Structures are given as C-alpha cells and as structure tokens.
Amino acid sequence: MNKTPHEICDIAIEAARTAGALALSHYKTDLKSWEKHDTTPVSEADLEVDALLHRQLLGATPDFGWLSEETADNDARLSKDWVWIVDPIDGTRAFLKGRPEWVISIGAVYQGKPMAGAIFNPVTDELFSAVKGRGAKLNGEPIQVSKRFELEGCYMLGHASMFARPEWPMPWPPMEIDLVNAIAYRMALVACGKFDATLSLSFKNEWDTAAGCLIVTEAGGVVSDHQGAPLSYNQADTRGRSLICAGPALHASIEDRVRLVPDVRISSNDA
C-alpha cells in the first residue's frame, strides 16, 4: 500500500460525501425497510450506500480488507494490514423517522489501530475527519474536545434512564442529558466540544466507533471501554463491551464511576 494516511483520509472524505448524497436522495421518502436478525432496522438505502462505498473505497485501495455493518463478514480481512471499517448509515432509526441524527462513518485501520477516518452528516453538512497525528477537523477547521472536568452540569449524550438506574453504587450528579441515535455522531459531537461526553454500557461494534475513536483522540479526547481499556479493531469478534468518550479529566471521572459496575449492560435499553 503506497498511499499515506492523509491520502487515505481524502479517499474516505470523498466517499463519505458521495455516499451522503445518495443517502440524502432517499431521506424522507417512502423507503422499504425491515428488521435484521438482531432486531435492528435496515433499509434499501443502507444497502445501496454500502455497495457504493464498497466500490469506491476498495476501487481506490484494492489491497484493503473490508468490514461493514451491511456486508456479510468473512475472515479474509483478518490477514490484511489495512482495513476499511464502515457503517453506511449509522443511525438508521433516525434516518427512517426523518430525524437529522444519522451519519456515514468510514474508518481506515492499520494493524488494528485507526489511522484515518471521516464521519459525514449530509443533513447538517457536518464533515468530521482525522488523520493519525494530524489532529481532527470539522469542515476543514481544527476541533478540540471540551476541557470540562466536573460531571455536575456537564452535557452528556446517553440514555437518561441509564443514569437513573438504582444499580449505581453512587447516584449521578445533575447533568444535561441528551440522546442521539447514532454512536458515531455522538462521538463526533464530543470531538468538536458540542457535548462533553458520551457513555454507553451496551455492546458496540467496530463499525460504530472506528472513525469516531480516531476523531475524538485526535481532538484531544479519550476513548475506552467501561474499564478504561482502549478499543481494538479488525478483531475476529467485532463487538466491544462498552464505550466512554470524553475529554481526559471528565473521562477519568466517568471511568471511576463505571469500572466497578458488575454488569456492563446495566441498562437494557442503552443504544
């Protein structure tokens, strides 16, 4: 592979914009959709965008492996150094309901580590991108996570019901809690400082977090599971246990509260 991470990021950005235009053409239309075996929704648009990204990304980098939510997985990617990890439409529920909380998420990982990524919201025209060691950007301008260190009063993305569960050893302080369906978009909103943190205690797949992980860390944030372990990519099992995403000080405060909770899935409706 003779392309630099910066060139790979440019490929991801171009593909995200092309895919975004295709998805947008289906947005708020009478679209065929159904439930997959895990009860998550999928639509004709998801599959069309997936096919477009597969053609465009692998057409530019034929030696890459491929992992996508909407493509049947196989072991071939495990032998590849470079792999595209893609969610064609992250936030399909929001997409189908006509809410502007869905994104195209494209990450490129090298030997399990994110090196380039793009997250694009076609409705709001927000293009988040990052290259390893080069910082993160929103529409070409540098971004940083918030510097907040206190949980009380912070802007948190997550399920309010999760924070109110009686299983917590210590009640959470008052926070401004909002919910965005798309995990990748949640991470991007933390990266640019619009929200201070996001917490999810349900399983997340690699395609949910690959691009967002790089964008957040390049914006100065920290991404881990609920026990503080970094996320790994291009694994045989694509599921991660949980997600904490925040600036360094706030991440530490959240981790202190959640790492000892015995059941990571403390909230069954956490998305």
Note the pLDDT tens digit of each residue in 200-240.
998 899 999 999 999 999 999 999 999 899 999 999 999 99
- SS3 assignment, position 58: helix
Which pLDDT value is given to residue 60? Answer: 97
H or E element, residue 106: strand 103-110
CA angle 230, 110, 1 (to 5 degrees): 175
Do 222 and 251 touch, CB atoms closer than 8 A?
A: yes
Q: What is the DSSP string of 108-124?
A: EEETTEEEEEEEEETTT
Which pLDDT value is given to residue 271? Answer: 45
Contacts (Cβ under 8 Å, ≥6 apart) of 223: 187, 209, 212, 213, 216, 217, 230, 231, 243, 244, 245
Q: What are the phi and psi torsion angles at 113 (to 5°)?
A: -115, 130
137 pLDDT tier (thresholds 50, 70, 90):
very high
Q: What is the pLDDT of residues 166-181, one digit of tens each?
A: 888 889 999 999 999 8
Do 244 and 254 touch, CB atoms closer than 8 A?
A: yes
For residue 245, pLDDT over 90 is answered with yes
Which pLDDT value is given to residue 262? Answer: 61
For residue 249, pLDDT over 90 is answered with yes
Which pLDDT value is given to residue 176? Answer: 98
For residue 75, pLDDT over 60 is answered with yes
The fold of 5-142 is: Fructose-1,6-Bisphosphatase; Chain A, domain 1 (3.30.540)
Average the pLDDT over 242-257 and give the result. Answer: 96
Q: Which whole-number Å values give the CA distances from 189 to 8, 97, 101, 194, 261, in the listed order?
A: 23, 21, 11, 5, 26
69 pLDDT tier (thresholds 50, 70, 90):
very high
Tokens of 166: 């009686």
Closest CA to 183 of 267, 125, 243, 250: 243
> How far is residue 89's CA from residue 148's CA, in Å, rounded to a whole number?
30
For residue 263, pLDDT over 80 is answered with no
- SS3 assignment, position 171: coil
Q: What is the pLDDT of residues 80-127, one digit of tens each?
A: 999 999 999 999 999 999 999 999 999 999 999 999 999 999 999 999
Which pLDDT value is given to residue 188? Answer: 98
Q: Measure the CA dihedral 254/198/206/188, to 10°.
A: -130
Which pLDDT value is given to residue 268? Answer: 40
For 155-258, give the CATH class. alpha beta
Where are the chain's structural domains?
5-142, 155-258
Higher pLDDT, 131 or 270: 131
Q: Position 225: which residue type? A: D
Which pLDDT value is given to residue 92? Answer: 96
State how beta strands 204-205 and 239-240 pair. Answer: antiparallel
Q: What is the pLDDT of residues 143-167, one digit of tens each?
A: 999 999 999 999 999 999 999 988 8
1 pLDDT tier (thresholds 50, 70, 90):
low
Which pLDDT value is given to residue 183? Answer: 97
For residue 241, pLDDT over 90 is answered with no
Which pLDDT value is given to residue 169? Answer: 84
**Ramachandran region, residue 49 (left: φ > 0; alpha: ψ -120 to 50; beta: rest):** alpha
Closest CA to 239 of 202, 267, 264, 265: 202
Q: What is the pLDDT of residues 16-67, one digit of tens each?
A: 999 999 999 999 999 999 999 888 899 999 999 999 999 999 999 999 999 9
Do 243 and 223 touch, CB atoms closer than 8 A?
A: yes
